[in-house]
Amino acid sequence: MSLPPRQRVAVLAIAAALACTACTSRDVYEVTESLRIDDCRDIVKFEEREACEERAGMSYAEYEALRERETGSGDD
């Protein structure tokens, strides 16, 4: 049985975080980057797939800046 992409990433991120108690949010983000990119490859429409890959491949610093803008929060 295969999980939907978002659930698969969430499960793997949680597993990675539990396996590495000293890991930071940045570590978990970077470990799951390839999983996010792989999930984009399932998207058929080129424009949607390209946008997904761009979001999935953003650096942790870019992700943090976007998260701060969208949530108004800078802390984990």
Residues 14-29 have pLDDT tens digits of 776 666 666 788 888 8
Asked if the structure places residue 40 within a domain, the reply is yes
Q: pTM of whole model > 0.75?
A: no
Asked if the structure places residue 53 within a domain, the reply is yes
Mean pLDDT, rounded, for 39-57: 93
Domains: count for the chain:
1
Per-position DSSP letters for 9-69, written without gaps between them:
HHHHHHHHHHH-TT--HHHHHHHTHHHHHHHHTT--SHHHHHHHHHHHT--HHHHHHHHHH
Asked if 20 and 13 touch (Cβ cutoff 8 Å), the reply is: no
Asked if the structure places residue 47 within a domain, the reply is yes
Q: Which residue has the tokens 């490859």?
A: 41
- Per-residue confidence (pLDDT) for residue 62, from 0 to 100: 92
Domain that holds residue 58: 5-69
